[in-house]
Every structure is written in structure tokens, then in C-alpha cells.
Amino acid sequence: MSLWTAADASAATGGRAQGDWAATGVSIDTRTIRPGDLFVALTDIRDGHDFVAQALEKGAAAAMVSRIPDDVPHNAPLLIVPEVLPALEK
């Protein structure tokens, strides 16, 4: 059962969904991500954008990002927002 579709997440955050995906959970850590999760690329001590490719390889449904990392395919399932943390708080 999905929690959010690409369209739902885009509408809720004001972001732009790339691809047609549905997320069943949320994760901010690639060590604990499960297939179907939306990976949220937060920036703190480490930049979550550095782990987007790894999250997608581990089965993330999509990733919420403020920029597309160089190592991520141009057609990857993403939710592109101006700033990740404020979008997550919406």
C-alpha cells in the first residue's frame, strides 16, 4: 500500500515529480532504507545528495532532492524541490 504517489508528493511539497512512482515509506539513511521508501536527501554534516544513487540502487521508490546529483541518471525517479527540509515539513 502506497503512502504517496509522485503526484501526491509533488502537490504536497510544491515540488516537481520526475517519473511515475509510489512510495510506501520514508527514509533519510541508506543503511536502513527499504525497497519502496522515499529517500529524503537532507543536508547536515553530510549531504544526503551524495547518497541518492545508493538509495535508488537499494530500491528506493524515489528521492526528494534540491539538485540532481551527477551520479544519478537523468530519468531517475525524483521529487525535485527548492529546499529539502522545508519541503519535508509541509
User: For residue range 42-78, what is the model confidence (pLDDT) as tens digits?
Assistant: 999 999 999 999 999 999 999 999 999 999 999 999 9
Q: What is the CATH number of domain 4-89?
A: 3.40.1390.10
- The confidence band for 89, taking pLDDT boundaries of 50, 70 and 90, is confident
Burial class (CB in 10 A: 0-12, 13-18, 19+), 52: buried
- pLDDT at position 26 over 90: yes
Strands in 2-87 per DSSP E: 4-5, 16-18, 22-23, 25-27, 37-40, 62-65, 78-80
- pLDDT at position 83 over 90: yes
Domain boundary assignment for the chain: 4-89
